[in-house]
Amino acid sequence: MNPEIEENELVSEVQEETENVASTYTAGAEELEQLKNQAEENYQRYLRTQADFDNFRRRARQEKEELAKYASQKLVENLVPIIDNFDRAIQSSKETQDFEGLAKGIDMVFRQFEGVLQSEGVKSIESVGQPFNPEFHQAIMQVESDEHEEGIVVEELQKGYMLNDRVIRPAMVKVSM
């Protein structure tokens, strides 16, 4: 074989191989650039998501604080007219010296107050004549009683109250023994 032909063939092969390597390198560089861009987009998306989550957490905390701060607003709005009625009753009794009317006025305001508490889920615990229950009653004294069997509440010294199904304050009672 002719050495010149062999050399040309070798040069052609080397050129072809170089072109293959160059095109593979170019394709790899393009793919690398695409992957870099995709990684940057993903990172930016992550940062936006993190910022959105931080904003959500901050808003939720603020809403929770505001809810706690104004949770009793409805109750207070319902109690303000009762305060007004007490004020009117006191002013009226000062002017007229009608203490019987004052007593009636206070009784009416008391009923109004009970109505507001009931509308909020507050109710008194019925005690007298009921079996003693430590969940609802606090025994202050035990007394002998011929009228009641043992363990029955015979007298209520202080009312107990519940808010929905939860005892706010147990009733202080005397229990038969």
Domain boundary, last residue among 26, 44, 69: 69
Say if residue 79 is in the same domain as residue 64.
no
Task: Give residue 10's pLDDT.
Answer: 79
Round to whole Å and give the CA distance between 63 and 51.
Answer: 18
Regions of the chain where pLDDT drops below 50: none
Alpha helices in 70-120 (DSSP H): 73-96, 99-119
Q: Which residues constitute the domain of residue 84?
A: 72-120
Task: Give residue 97's pLDDT.
Answer: 79
Task: Give residue 1's pLDDT.
Answer: 59
Number of domains in the chain: 3
Say if residue 90 is in the same domain as residue 59.
no
Say if residue 130 is in the same domain as residue 167.
yes
Task: Give residue 5's pLDDT.
Answer: 74
Say if residue 41 is in the same domain as residue 98.
no
Burial of 23 from C-beta contacts in 10 A (0-12 / 13-18 / 19+): exposed
Say if residue 49 is in the same domain as residue 81.
no
